[in-house]
A and B are shown apart, each in its own frame.
Chain A
Amino acid sequence: MSQWKDSGKLGLILLVSPLALWLALFIVLPHIDMVLISLRERVAARQYAFSWGNYTEFFTEPLYWRTFLRTAVMSILATGLTLLIAFPVSFYIAKMLRGRLKAALFILCLIPFWVSELVRTYGWMILLRETGLFSSLLQWMGLVDQPVEMLYNDVAIMVGLVYTSMLFMVVPLVTTLESLDDSLIEAAYDLGGNHLEVIRDVVIPHAMPGIVSGCIVVFMLTLGNYLTPTLLGGKDSLWFTEQIYTQFITRFNWEQGSAFGMLLLVLSSVIVWCGLKLSRQSFTRVMT
């Protein structure tokens, strides 16, 4: 018996160790290092002193915290839009379709993600730029008499972000909606509910864990996205990840960059926590 137990323990260690190593080496250690870097200040060449300065800089310089606020608000908006578009799609896939068609539509949602994000974003640029498809189409139809620039504005960023996030909302939603018993929907109709009431009283409460987990994933991905806002929004897209990039790469100010990185982590966690509290969901329930 004890031999069994020991081999079970060994198996557990073997199975968990790659994950633990991965977490420790690539997540925990770099973050500890980042905290340490962010809490120092260069006083002279190769001489550093402890300081909160990098953090106070964020709150005293309006550009920084306004950029952060803008990023957060845009991300929340993008998450909301993604949910709004993905919910009917997921409901259709999970509840209205059966068999082959269902699998086909689900794969259709997946296919864009076989291509890298960069290529997908360039796709949008081809569509939206001044000499792009939409602009030419509008001119050909005679609706406008000169090329229209549709890139480099907030709408373009939003379109790109929603498009990129779609799958991460559809998958959890389809999974939770599939587990909803059809007879619950029928029972609600049978007792006199109309379409809206059935969705409000039965479908959404059941899908809540899926909605919240989808929203968390999409919000985190959007907030930390660098490529889409930069390419579709241009130089002045004022996305917070760009500020971090600038500090690390352009300005060589690793201390400031680390402080921004930590702030992004803490603030996004706070927003997610608030979202969980507001929707009365627990993190463990949502993520399982």
Chain B
Amino acid sequence: MQLQANNTDVDLECREVTKSFGHFAAVQEVSFSIPSGSFFSILGPSGCGKTTLLRMVAGFQSPDHGDILIKGKSVLNTPPNRRPVNMVFQHLALFPNMTVAENVAYGLKRRGVAKTDIKSRVEDMLSRVGLPDSGDKQISQLSGGQKQRIAIARCLVLNPDVLLLDEPLGALDLKLREQMKVELKHLQEKFGATFIYITHDQSEALVMSDQVAVMNAGRFEQVGAPQELYYEPASRFVAGFVGESNRWYGVIQERDEKGFNVQCETGLKMRIDRPGNDLQVSHPWGVGKKLEFYLRPESITVTLGDTAPATTNRYKGKVESVLFDGARSQMLVRLPDAIELLNVALPQTAEFRRVKKGDVVSVGWMSGQVRCYEV
């Protein structure tokens, strides 16, 4: 749960930060530290407290308990205009009454940097974000993606220890968002700055981040690399929130040393083994224990017709519908002896191109691919 690092390469550290609004606990004892130059994302549904956490780091709100340290020094008593952090706002908050260059120069002017110096630094920054000739433009003349880059340039020109980004891609259309994701990651690598990015969009967090913290109801559920979150979710919430899953509730029917046989509420029976996961096997889960199961759509092997896949759990089913979405296409398969629809990733092979509603398929998955959590 906690990333502890006591070396000097930590840019930001939060220690048991807590904040309540009246009776509502927005952030509860959140501790983490972020190494220099990394891209750290906080991923969570809206209302989970991620914006409050970010605003506390920026200095717009002060925590009830706990401490926030930047480069090892507590900043609790530093007002937002003196903190070595800068923030890219959700709607960017570019000053509409100033030109692009004036926007970028604003922070430098407030610091009393010499005029000629400001001019060269602004020009340099504008060319580094790929907008070298737009200094004289008005903000309203820029496109969404350009505004985005200016908002980031306005902060980066000040060389902040930490750059905070509050869902800045939320207002963009899908195509531009995909493009900006890559661009933002490149910018971060180019400048070597520490980015803290908050979002409710898991793909943004997974694509860009070195580390992702999944937040729910004011707490960090799990902190880890994107792969860890996806393949080894530590809690029910993370398993359900990150990526897509088939989900069942069920009860253990038989138990042996390697795993157990379960029956789901929907009638589905399956074998679950945890050979590589000591954590799960060591749980004193006996017969009759109620569990929740998660299975990724892409973990399911599917074959056409009656040839059963070579997996531990095997079922025959009928295609209920095909949800075509390019590489992320899925099909819903109804199993005859169970009431649920199984969400299966559509294999990208020639024989599945013509699969349609009503086709008979066989599905199966290895007993180790299902993740179980206590209910």
Residues of A whose CB lies within 8 Å of any CB of B are 181, 183-184, 186-194, 197, 201-202, 205-206
Minimum Cβ distance to chain A for residue B229 (Å): 30
**Could you name 29 residue pairs across A and B whose Cβ atoms are closer than 8 Å?**
A181-B91, A181-B93, A183-B89, A183-B90, A183-B91, A186-B58, A186-B60, A186-B87, A186-B89, A187-B89, A187-B94, A188-B95, A189-B81, A190-B81, A190-B86, A190-B87, A191-B81, A191-B86, A191-B107, A191-B154, A191-B158, A192-B110, A193-B81, A193-B110, A194-B81, A201-B98, A201-B106, A202-B95, A206-B97
- Complex: how many Å from CA A188 to CA B87? 10
Alpha-carbon distance between A269 and B91 when the two chains are bound, in angstroms = 40
Q: Which residue of A lies closest to B82 (CB)?
A: A192
Q: How far is the CA of A192 from the CA of B108 in the complex (A)?
A: 8
Which residues in A have their C-beta under 8 angstroms from that of B155?
Answer: 191
Give CA–CA (A190, B98) in the complex, Å: 17
Using an 8 Å CB-CB cutoff, how does the interface string of B234-265 with A read, 1 for contact, 0 for none?
00000000000000000000000000000000
Residues of the A chain whose Cβ atoms lie less than 8 Å from the Cβ of B154: 191
Known: A193-B110, A201-B95, A206-B97. A187 touches B158 (CB 8 A): no
Residue from A181, A184, A197, A206 within 8 A of B110 (CB atoms):
A197
Residues A192 and B158 in contact in the complex (CB < 8 Å), given A186-B80, A197-B110, A201-B106: yes
- A192 to B157 alpha-carbon distance, docked (Å): 13
Query: How far does the alpha carbon of A103 sit from the alpha carbon of B111 in the complex, in Å?
Result: 39
Given known A183-B90, A201-B106, contact A189–B80 (CB-CB < 8 A):
yes
Question: Across the two chains, which residue of chain A brings its CB closest to B86?
Answer: A190
Contact across chains for B110 and A190 when beta carbons are under 8 A apart: no
CB distance from B349 to the nearest CB of A (A): 49
Q: How far is the CB of B98 from chain A (nearest CB, A)?
A: 8
Most A-side CB within 10 Å, residue of B85, B86, B110: B110
Report chain B residues within 8 Å CB of A194. 81, 110
Cα separation A186 to B97 with both chains bound (whole Å)? 16
| A206: chain B residues within 8 A (beta carbon) | 96-97
**Contact between chains at B106 and A190 (CB < 8 Å):** no
Question: Which size bracket describes the interface of B in this complex?
Answer: 20 to 34
Write out the residue numbers on chain B whose beta carbons fall within 8 Å of the beta carbon of A193. 81, 106, 110
A201 to chain B, nearest CB (A): 7
- Complex: chain A residue closest to B90, CB-CB: A183
Specify which chain A residues have a CB less than 8 angstroms from the CB of B58 in the assembled complex. Answer: 186, 190
Give the distance to chain B from A179, nearest Cβ to Cβ, in Å. Answer: 12
> B130-143: contact bitstring with A at CB < 8 Å (1 yes, 0 no)?
00000000000000
Q: Which residues of B contact A197 (CB under 8 A)?
A: 110
- How far is the CB of B147 from the nearest CB of chain A, in Å? 13
Residue contact B93 to A187, C-beta cutoff 8 Å: yes
Complex formed: what's the CA distance from A286 to B110 in Å?
A: 30
Residues of B within 8 Å of A181, CB to CB, are: 91, 93
| Distance between Cα atoms of A263 and B65 in the complex (Å) | 68
Query: Nearest chain A CB to B155's CB is how many angstroms away?
Result: 8
Contact partner of A190 among B80, B95, B97, B111, CB < 8 A? B80
Residues of B within 8 A of A186 (CB): 58, 60, 80, 87, 89, 93
Given contact pairs A184-B95, A187-B93, A193-B106, a sample of 7 additional A-B residue pairs in the complex whose CB atoms are under 8 Å apart = A187-B87, A190-B80, A191-B155, A192-B82, A192-B111, A193-B81, A193-B110
Q: Are A188 and B86 in contact (CB under 8 A)?
A: no
Tell me, rounded to whole Å, the shortest Cβ–Cβ distance linking A186 to chain B.
6
* Least distance between B143 CB and chain A CB atoms (Å): 20
Q: Cβ of A190: which chain B residues have Cβ within 8 Å of it?
A: 58, 80-81, 85-87
Minimal Cβ-Cβ distance residue in B for A186: B60
Contact among B60, B79, B91, B106 with A191 in the assembled complex (CB-CB below 8 Å) = B106
Which B residue sits closest to A204, measured CB to CB? B97
Q: Give the contacts of B61-107 with A (CB-CB under 8 A).
A: 79-82, 85-87, 89-91, 93-98, 106-107
| Shortest Cβ distance from B60 into A: residue | A186
Bound CA–CA A188/B91 (angstroms): 14
Tell me which residues from 147 to 166 in chain B have a Cβ below 8 Å from any Cβ of chain A: 154-155, 158
Q: Is the CB of A184 within 8 A of B93?
A: yes
By a CB distance below 8 angstroms, the chain A residues around B94 are: 187
Beta-carbon nearest neighbor of A208 in chain B: B97
Residues in B neighbouring A192, C-beta threshold 8 A: 81-82, 107, 110-111, 158
Q: A189 CA to B87 CA in the complex, in Å? A: 10
Nearest CB on B from A185, distance (A): 9
How many whole Å from B99's CB to the nearest CB in chain A?
13
Q: Per-position contact with A for B32-68: 1 when CB-CB < 8 Å, else 0?
A: 0000000000000000000000000010100000000
Which residues on the A side are within 8 Å of B90 (C-beta)?
Answer: 183
CA distance A9 to B351 in the complex (A): 65
Neighbouring A residues of B107 by C-beta, 8 Å? 191-192
Of B79, B85, B106, which one neighbours A188 at CB under 8 angstroms? B106
Nearest CB of B to A221, in Å: 29
